[in-house]
Amino acid sequence: MGRDAQKAANIVLEAAHGLGFDLVGIAPLRPPRRAEAFRRWLAAGHHAGMDWLERQSERILDPRRILESEGSILVCGVSHARAPLEIEGGGRIARYAAGRDYHNLVGKKLGKLARRLEALGLAGRGRTIVDAGPLLERSHANEAGLGFESRSANLLHPTFGPWFFLGELLLPIELEPTPTPPAASCGTCSACIDACPTDAIPEAGVIDANRCLSYHTIENRGTIPHELRKKLGEWAFGCDVCSEVCPYGSAAPDTEATFGLHRGAETRLVDWLAPRKNTEVADAEFWNGSPLTRAKREGRARNAALVLGNRPTDEGHKALTRALEGDSPLVRAAAFWGLSNGHRDDRGVREVLERALQREEDSDAAADMRTTLAHFG
């Protein structure tokens, strides 16, 4: 590429930094370097219930299909490092989920950047993508020089570790790519593989979503497999274990102020089991703007029931019993397990469970309850 492409790239990068992005880089708009690895990952079924990845695979494997033109990918990163957060009454959520929804913040920044570049005459109508778009973003970010992919498939940066969001602006112009820094790697470190509570990293750089707690507590709309429920421990939404044990993440600067603290992250875990009723702020409105909405109300309640079973309290016992007598079949089955796991030695619990099973009319929930009761002891 010529001097014009380099000059335009410098202007684009400067504009992105000026809007507050912590990391910026440019990659060519072409198939990602890890295209074959992605094909193998899909073929192995490691995407679990995320069928949209198969439906969108052609565009993921060749982002030129998204713009239907040649061009460049501007990759931007925003740090979200903060201290770990425990929900009142037990339970943890992934650190990124404690603040405002990053889709909104990063998306607005990218939209503003696109309009600024268009006003400068550098690009016509492009496409902004924040996490949910059909793009193998970590692979493109690696090519743009934002970091290297770790054994846990995170993108690692020397300063921010794994604690940053990615967003992309696909531009219909060819810019000079960002020079890729010297190759880096995890070396001999396998801390993430060793620490994963469910053995969800079968080999370096591969995550099996079928066993990943983040997938099950966020994306999975059904039951969480029995074999993973105790291993869920205190994780009520997401899981940060592989990031927390990573040496690259230990010194990342705290950037909590960027996303703040959403009020949903300050709720009690027992309150996740019941929709907010007769309050000044309705349930949907209360959670609006939080990443925790991704699991939907039923998913949060299911997760809470399982965590309360792993971290039993008297208050949790009461909340699980109430959920067992109402709520949706999915939540009833989770509450049934929660009571069985956390309160099996409590007087009368066996009778409560048997009565609940007798009145259960949903066949899937009843089958789940029978599996739980078979291991009651």
What single string gives the DSSP state of each residue in 249-307? GTTPPP-HHHH---GGGGSBGGGGGS---SSSS-HHHHHTT-GGGGGHHHHHHHHHHHH
> At residue 144, what is the residue type?
A
Q: What is the pLDDT of residues 275-322, one digit of tens each?
A: 666 555 677 888 999 999 999 999 999 999 999 999 999 999 999 999
CB-based burial label for 328 (10 Å; 0-12, 13-18, 19+)? middle
CB distance 270 to 305 below 8 Å: no
What pTM was estimated for this model as a whole?
A: 0.94
pLDDT of residue 279: 57
pLDDT of residue 89: 80
Whether 64 shows a pLDDT value over 70: the answer reads: yes
CB distance 99 to 256 below 8 Å: yes
Q: What is the pLDDT of residues 3-24, one digit of tens each?
A: 688 998 999 999 999 999 999 9
Which residue numbers are catalytic?
131
d(CA 295, CA 36): 30
CA torsion through residues 25, 30, 36, 40, sign: positive
Q: Return the domain boundaries, the chain.
A: 3-82+98-171, 191-374
Section 89-107 average pLDDT? 93
Contacts of 211 (CB under 8 A, 6+ apart): 198, 199, 200, 228
Whether 182 shows a pLDDT value over 80: the answer reads: no
Give how far Cα 236 sits from Cα of 227, 265, 311, Å. Answer: 16, 11, 11
